[in-house]
Amino acid sequence: MIAWFKTYFVDVLKYQYFDFTGRATRTQFWFFVLIEVIVFTLFVIVATLISLLIKDSYLFFILVVYMIAMVIPRLAIAARRLRDVGLSPFWLFLVLLPYIGAFVLLIMYVLPSEAFQKAG
């Protein structure tokens, strides 16, 4: 298994699934997001190909289960990332604002860690 896949995805799911405390560095957060996008894309491709071959769409149920299972780890790592920046996890509610909320959160996710902000 590739080391970064295990470190930034498997270990996060295994040990920090419900962990909303602590901090997540930019590297941890963005590698988790990248790997999750890749895994989801592979799920979509495989489910589509198999569904086309057997002429049935029940495999998309697997995608729905995956998406539901990943909601909590996504929220947990986002909360830890916001805490690393020095903000409250309640800032996640910004995503409920149409258009601007997700953009503001993206900017917050890109900010350097609080430790670097205090040092500079």
What are 58-88's pLDDT values in tens digits? 777 878 888 999 999 999 999 999 999 999 9
Over the range 77-113, which residues count as b (16 or more CB within 10 Å of their CB) and which as e?
Answer: bbbbbbbbbeeebebbeeeeeeeeeeeebeebbebeb
pTM of the model: 0.85
Mean pLDDT of the chain: 86
Q: Where are the domains of the chain?
A: 3-119
What are 19-53's pLDDT values in tens digits? 899 899 898 999 999 999 999 999 888 888 887 88
